[in-house]
Amino acid sequence: MFIRLLKNIFTNKASQSRSTEMATGQSAVSDNFRFSAQLDLTKDHNSQLVDSKLQHAVDTAFYDYLLGASEPQSQMTEMEQTIYNQVDKLLAQPDSILNELPAMPHSVATMISMMNSDDFNTQTLLNLIKQEPAVSAAILALANSPMFRRSEKPVAGLKSAFVQLGANGIKECVLMSFIKRFNPAEASYFQSFGENLWEHAQQSALFAKQLATEELNPQAGNLAFLAGLINQLGKMIIFQLVIDAYKVVNAGVQPNSFYIKAIMRQRGSELILSIAKHWNLPKALVDALEDPKRVYMSYDSIAAFVSQGSTISQLECICQAELLSSDICIRYANQKLISPEASTLLYDVLGEIEKNKQSDE
């Protein structure tokens, strides 16, 4: 996705004189260590309400789930310093990244523009989707997936999918088909990353929707679902950016997962907000995105449901992979979750995991 952009950047850098390059390299080393010092995986404003050691354990376990275990490193190689300094510069001023993103399909833009409208016109959206084969195929695939399929009979056409899913299901499918394009399908060094992150994105969105629907209303639930899904987009794009950078410089080594994790935490939320503005997403949807600088004490916004949904999904992933015990996850949840409904939802999820493990024994 970002190969052309990164080739231009690294080609220009390589064309500098050796003396200038060395001077720049010295500065880059300094910048890098300052940068790496900022990328403490335990740095989370929400940790004000959570024991710091417990927060660190959960953060580490979740990113190990996504990218595999990694040891903290005090320094990087010169090549890694160059890659991560350039990636960080791009993320700090993301206009060039945004210009490389694919345009939002008309079906997605129309769906988002109508998401809060009581006059949602299914036929209008259906006509747009028919003109976009990739979206049509994705909707049929999703309609036949375990999450959406409601009968043994496969869904063969768009009209059948629309009848089965309903207006809200259609909206969710359209957005999911678009967001999934950004999820890396191939990552030679991290084969499970794309699958794990996509599973987390879906579960986060579904949990946020369930909580918002129960606490408020179905319309709030639909908005929470959309925001919950978009909320994970930053991780997808940052991962792809780093992997593409390694390809461009022909590194021939495994990307440094410790720093990928760190840069995701440092820049992911900022990137999401930039993307939301770039795509002219409605203010209601932008406001519903999770703000990592906020400590959510109550359901005073849709973003609070999105945050809680993400937390529940993280703990589900961690327990499913047996990276932490369920006791530790529950202790964390008791400090992090803000309502009995959220706690009940998590306990149901963990109970299902435990039941499945016992049946496999």
Going 113 to 119 to 124 to 129, the CA torsion angle's sign is positive
Is 88 found in the same domain as 44? Answer: yes
Write down the pLDDT at residue 37.
39
Q: Which amino acid is at 120?
A: F
In this structure, are 22 and 155 located in the same domain?
no
Same domain for 139 and 239, yes or no, is no
Structure tokens at 106: 């008309």
* Whether residues 77 and 223 fall in one domain: yes
**What pLDDT does residue 332 have?**
96
174 lies in the same domain as 131: yes
Angstrom CA distances, 5 to 12, 17, 68, stand at 11, 22, 28
Instruction: Give the per-residue pLDDT at 48.
Output: 52
Residues 169, 136 share a domain: yes
The pLDDT, as a whole number, for residue 23 is 43
pLDDT at res. 216: 96
Same domain, 129 and 93: no
Q: Decide which of 150, 182, 214 is a domain's last residue.
A: 182
Q: Which domain holds residue 21?
A: 3-100+183-360
Q: CA-CA distance, 64 to 48, in Å (whole number)?
A: 23
Segments in the chain below pLDDT 70: 13-48, 72-74, 115-120, 186-189, 251, 361
Domain count, the chain: 2
CA 40 to CA 284: how far, in whole Å? 31
Q: Phi/psi of residue 269, each to 5°?
A: -70, -40
Look up tokens 């998401």; give the residue: 115
Span 137-157, pLDDT tens digits: 878 887 888 777 777 888 888
For 351, the token pair is: 């109970």
The torsion angles phi and psi of 51, rounded to 5 degrees, stand at: -50, 130
The string of pLDDT tens digits covering residues 77-106 is 788 888 888 888 888 888 999 889 888 888
Whether residues 77 and 141 fall in one domain: no
CA–CA dist 349, 335 (Å, integer): 18
Judge if 114 and 43 occupy the same domain.
Answer: no
Same domain, residue pair 199 and 342: yes
Last residue of a domain, one of 152, 182, 212: 182
Asked if residue 167 and residue 194 are part of one domain, the reply reads no
Given 156, 182, 208, the domain boundary residue is: 182
Please check whether residues 243 and 299 belong to one and the same domain. yes
pLDDT of residue 188: 65
- Give the number of C-alpha atoms closer than 13 A to the C-alpha of residue 203, restricted to the C-beta side: 17
- Residue 355 and residue 349: Cα distance in Å, rounded? 10
